[in-house]
Structure 1
Amino acid sequence: MMAGLRVDFSVLLESVGFVKILEWILVIFTLTTCGGFQGETTILVSCKGVVNKTITAAFAYPFRLNTAVFSAPDPKACGGTWNDAHLVGNFSSSAQLFVALAALVFLYCIAALVVYIGYNHMYQQNNRFPITDLVISVLTAFLWLVSTFVWAKALADIKVSTGPRIIPGIESCKAPGTTCHFLSVTSMGILNVSVVFGLLNMILWAGNVWLLYKDTNLHNQWNRISESPAERV
């Protein structure tokens, strides 16, 4: 295939090439906003021999919260009344679906740009390439829709599982003489942004479907079919 290489960057100024660059850039931001998140939730504990001790449970992508643990406030574990407490929930499947799609889209955008820039003459001459590109784009737009809404639901549950409602679920906080107060949780604004990026990806890929459709003979065939009755009249 290297024998047919004809580098032409002018295709990037055309709508299909320019949109592909936008898709590539947008998916990079999507990956970093979700896959790079790290946070922690903090509570304030008072128990036997301990007054207002802060303890934290750290969590990060892929959000297996059931592995995040609040260690004992002191070496004596509040006089033996404190057992390590975990956050509740495992949201790794939703988060990994979202990030895995972003990673695959990132790789596909690179591959598509290589074809556009180096083999555009073959892309234009062989209709199988535009049709394959069209089918992949339709599927990708649909997957962005599904994965974004799945991730948005998981994010809402993550906020609940790391917020003030965790206190009643910590058994050690119910021990006599022990009090626990929710203190803080890392802001998840960046994760909210990742959901927005997911929706933008879906919109961008859905819009790109029309551009690719016009590059296939399907569009020309439809035009011929729609014009033929008028020609007969």
Structure 2
Amino acid sequence: MCMIFAICAFATCGGYYGQLQVKVDCADRRQSNHSINIKFGYPFRLQEVHFKAPLCEAKRDEVLFLDGDFSSASHFFLTVGVFSFLYSLLATIVYVFYQNKYLKNNRGPLVDFFITVIFSFMWLVSSSCWAKTLSEVKMATNPTQVLLLISACRAPENKCTATQQPLWSRLNTSVVFGFVNAVLWAGNIWFVFKETGWYKRGQRFPTSSESFRPQLSRQDGFNQSRGGFGQQVQRQGSFQSQVSLSLAHTYIGKPVIYDREKNVALQGPMIFVNEM
């Protein structure tokens, strides 16, 4: 995904060519309806863009140049796009074919994490600079602003009009792709961080407070169960003691053994049995 948006970003910016057209009508009818085509493009060194405009009084042409050099911001934006594309391609190859070496000693994820942070920051800075520079390019190539450079247009008797303006949709799209890349790379920071040892170490070893709480709860449960068991035994013992004290004694009598003549031969001891 990052590779696709990086290609779209530097392709829409690097291959741009624009054109504007103005028309000069001199008071002298011999040089009326004189159209001037001005072409410019990447890297937007407008001070090198020249065009010829008629001098109505002298009946000859003058060579004029546009104002401004905006190549630094466009170069910066394009460079970030190209390098991010190359790194994304390299990272994809490593993820697919060298996964074991990538995860070895945690060096691969750490390097990937820092580079991802750098590219997300660079995309944000370069896109912001390019957006500001693009507004300045639009102002410098505005046909109304270009007419002020022509000497013949300063004379009130001559008539100058703008017949064609540059198309900015492609450059506007490049700015949008730049900020989309910044969001994508910033979002990848979390996914790359999950591959590092910092995140895995935090998941493997819980904190002391978290590990201590379950022990306390188990110990409390054990004490509660032990206390409940003690209370149950105590209640059972007390119940048995109450029952044993409250039971009445029943006299059965002495066991008696008779002989053949039904005389008492042996008489045993007296036995008392608790009546339930």
Q: Assess same fold via TM > 0.5.
A: yes
Residue in structure 2 matched with residue 158 of structure 1 by the alignment:
137
Question: Does the 8 Å CA contact 1:81/1:172 hold for their aligned counterparts?
Answer: no
- RMSD of aligned C-alpha atoms? 1.9
**Other-structure match for 2:52:** 71
Could you tell me how far 1:126 is from its partner in structure 2? 3.0
The structure that has the greater radius of gyration is 2
Q: CA offset at residue 31 of structure 1?
A: 1.4
In the alignment, which of 186, 191, 206 is matched to residue 206 of structure 1?
186
Residue matched to 1:55? 36
Compute the displacement of 1:220 (Å): 2.2
Contact 1:85 1:172 in 2 (8 A): no
**Counterpart in the other structure of 1:218:** 198
Mind listing any 5+ residue stretches in structure 1 that lack a counterpart?
1-21
Determine which of 187, 198, 203 is the counterpart of 2:167. Answer: 187
Deviation at 1:166, TM superposition (A): 2.6
Higher fraction of helix: 1
Code of the aligned partner of 1:189: S
2:15 to 30, 36, 41: 36
State the alpha-carbon separation in 1 of the partners of residues 7 and 92 from structure 2: 15
- Tell me: CA distance 1:222–1:176, structure 2 relative to 1, closer, same or farther (3 Å): same
- Secondary structure (helix, strand or coil) at the match of 1:208 reads helix
Give the deviation of 1:177 after TM superposition.
4.7
Task: Kindly indicate which of the two structures has a greater share of residues assigned to strand.
Answer: 2
Unaligned runs of 5+ in 2: 214-276
Q: Post-superposition shift, 1:159?
A: 0.8
Q: CA 1:168–1:225 in 2, change beyond 3 Å: closer, same or farther?
A: farther
Q: How many angstroms apart in 2 are the aligned matches of 1:221 and 1:167?
A: 66
Show the counterpart of 1:122: 101
Residue 133 (str. 1) matches residue 108 (str. 2)? no
* Contact persistence 1:40–1:185 (CA under 8 A): yes
Query: Across the two proteins, how many residue pairs are aligned to each other?
Result: 209
CA contact (8 A) 2:53 2:150 kept: no
| Residues 116/170 of structure 1: CA separation in 2 closer, same or farther (3 Å cut) | same
Amino acid paired to 1:183: T
- Structure 1 residue 101 displacement after superposition: 0.7
Q: CA deviation at 1:113?
A: 1.5
Cα shift readout 1:111-134 (whole Å, capped 9, x = no counterpart): 111211210111123311011001
Q: Which moved more, 1:62-71 or 1:150-159?
A: 62-71
What secondary structure does 2:33 align onto? strand
Q: Equivalent of 2:147, from 154, 161, 167?
A: 167
- Matching residue within 5, 10, 25 for 2:4: 25
2:24 equivalent to 1:45: yes
Cα shift readout 1:47-71 (whole Å, capped 9, x = no counterpart) = 2421112101110001111111122
Q: C-alpha distance in 1, partners of 2:22/2:181?
A: 37
User: 195-204 or 157-166, which moves further after superposition?
Assistant: 157-166
The AA in structure 2 aligned to 1:68 is V
Are the aligned partners of 1:28 and 1:106 in contact in 2 as well (CA < 8 Å)? Answer: yes
Aligned residues of 1:46 and 1:178 also touching (Cα < 8 A)? yes
Q: 2:79 — aligned with what? A: 100
Using CA pairs under 8 Å that are at least 6 residues apart, name the structure with larger relative contact order, 1 or 2: 1
